[in-house]
Amino acid sequence: MLQKFIKKTRLPFICCLLPLAINAATIKEDKWEQGQTLLTFFEKNSIPAKVYYDLAPEDKELADEIISGSTFYTLYEGERLLQALISINEDSQLHIYQKNGVYQMRAMPITHFVEKRTLALSVESSLYNDIVKYTGDTLLASDFIQAYKNSIDFKRQIKKDDKFAIVYERKYRLGKYFGSPNIKASMLNVSNHDHYVIRHQDGHFYDIHGNNLNKYLLLTPLKYKRISSHFSTARKHPILGYKRPHLGVDYAASRHTPIKAAGKGRVVFAGVKGGYGKTVIIQHENGYRTLYAHMHNINKGIKVGAFVEQGRQVGTVGSTGLSTGPHLHFGVYKNGNAVNPLKHLQIAQTKLEGKEREIFLRLANNYKNELDGILANNIENVPFKTLKNSYIVYLTQDRLAPANEIN
Ligand SMILES: [Zn+2]
């Protein structure tokens, strides 16, 4: 068994994982290049193309979820690839390994730990700039702005020395944070008025009284018969081992049913996309993208660069790229990460009621106390402290469950 131990101190935002050579095997960290596909990756590593073509259609879909620019890890012995870990969203990754000399691929969860963090600042220049200045976290800054966008006029209402606090979570993997922050609660004091935003267990933002603050950009893109497959990320099944993730929602519908743009935006992909068959991808505001797959045909005029209004027909339901019956595979991405579409589509409910509201009010009250506590202390604007993390990577050569990450 080959084990690798890497221990290092992490400086904030400056990280590198140096290739280490132990017993002639090397672990490498790389960025997935623009235009690289699983097939070209196989080619580069002398993995027979047959391995790709023999994958289940669902696995081919997952292969098309690899995000350009994302970090992936490989273990080589000389020129020979022993293993690879390639992430397909924040929670799931593809694991390529050998069993009896034959390459295999499976999806598995990404092991990470979640750290709860708090931030309290008084405004110097702008909310966005100050958050970036003191945390280096641009996604935290944009998500915070997003949470208040519908209730605060930033330009006119925010003044120097206004105070705000955020309670949020950050995922860490191999000693670095990755993915999107998860804001749990925040408070922004504007003209002596406290504006609280609380994330409920349904994933949506509410004000302190339980009124929904989200403005939904996206509508269900078709008239469907039923949902044939829900969104899920990779997770360990106690008996079957790892369960394959499904990074979208499948809507069963008759062939030729019109598919409409879920929101207004710009077409960034229109054509055949591996296991997804005929596919359209639209970029919307606020870091959202939607993906429409297995289409029978794509409408004329739906080309890269074209602007579409919400509800504009982009194509029709088919079953291209798959052997199963006609359906629309609909994917929603926030900052490049596949998220559950059903949580991001417009819903009628704008106010929490009954038992749900009671649960929320208890949660909101706890967060309010926490935020008030943070802001009761004198706020000093200081950059986040240096984190000292050490981590260990285990990649083993000769076992079926060889890739563990211990943070
Ligand atoms: Zn699907």
Q: Which domains are assigned to the chain?
A: 17-110 (3.10.450.350), 113-214+349-377 (3.10.450.350), 226-343 (2.70.70.10)
Please tell me the distance between residue 137's alpha carbon and the centre of ligand 1 in angstroms.
32
**Is the separation of the CB atoms in 63 and 38 below 8 Å?**
yes
Q: What number of other Cβ atoms are within 10 A of residue 360's Cβ? A: 20
The residues, ordered by sequence, that sit 6+ positions from 371 with a Cβ below 8 Å of its Cβ are 165, 167, 185, 186, 187, 196
Largest CA distance in the chain: 68
Question: For residues 191 and 118, which has the higher predicted lDDT (pLDDT)?
Answer: 118
Please tell me the distance between residue 325's alpha carbon and the centre of ligand 1 in angstroms.
11
Dihedrals φ, ψ of 370, to 5°? -65, -45
Please tell me the distance between residue 229's alpha carbon and the centre of ligand 1 in angstroms.
7
Kind and range of the H or E element at 95?
strand 92-99
Dihedrals φ, ψ of 190, to 5°? -125, 125
Residue 349: what pLDDT?
Answer: 61
Residue 380: what pLDDT?
Answer: 73
Question: For residues 119 and 243, which has the higher predicted lDDT (pLDDT)?
Answer: 119
From start to end of 247-336, where are the E strands?
Answer: 249-252, 258-260, 265-272, 278-283, 288-298, 307-308, 313-317, 327-334
- For residue 258, how many C-alpha atoms fall within 13 Å in the half-sphere facing its CB? 8
Kind and range of the H or E element at 395?
strand 392-395
Please tell me the distance between residue 16's alpha carbon and the centre of ligand 1 in angstroms.
36
The residues, ordered by sequence, that sit 6+ positions from 9 with a Cβ below 8 Å of its Cβ are 388, 389, 390
Return the exposure string of 96-130: e unless at least 16 CB atoms fall within 10 Å of the residue's CB, then b. bbbeeeebebbbbebebeeeebebbbbbeebbeeb
- For residue 81, how many C-alpha atoms fall within 13 Å in the half-sphere facing its CB? 21
pLDDT at 399 over 60: no
Kind and range of the H or E element at 50?
helix 49-53
Rounded to the nearest integer, the mean pLDDT of the chain is 84
Mean pLDDT of 301-327: 93
Please tell me the distance between residue 293's alpha carbon and the centre of ligand 1 in angstroms.
8
- Please classify residue 79 by burial: count the beta carbons closer than 10 Å to its beta carbon, then call 0-12 exposed, 13-18 middle and 19+ buried: exposed
Please tell me the distance between residue 228's alpha carbon and the centre of ligand 1 in angstroms.
9
pLDDT at 182 over 80: yes
Q: What is the pLDDT of residues 53-76, one digit of tens each?
A: 988 888 889 999 998 888 899 999
Angle between helices 138-148 and 127-135 (to 10 degrees): 150
174 confidence band (pLDDT: 50, 70, 90): confident
Please tell me the distance between residue 296's alpha carbon and the centre of ligand 1 in angstroms.
15
Please tell me the distance between residue 311's alpha carbon and the centre of ligand 1 in angstroms.
21
pLDDT at 181 over 80: yes
pTM greater than 0.85: no
Please tell me the distance between residue 224's alpha carbon and the centre of ligand 1 in angstroms.
14
**Phi-psi group of 381: left, alpha or beta (phi > 0 → left; psi -120 to 50 → alpha; rest → beta):** beta
Please tell me the distance between residue 255's alpha carbon and the centre of ligand 1 in angstroms.
16
Dihedrals φ, ψ of 196, to 5°? -100, 145
Facing residues of 80 across strands?
77
pLDDT at 388 over 70: no
Please tell me the distance between residue 70's alpha carbon and the centre of ligand 1 in angstroms.
22
Q: What number of other Cβ atoms are within 10 A of residue 173's Cβ? A: 19
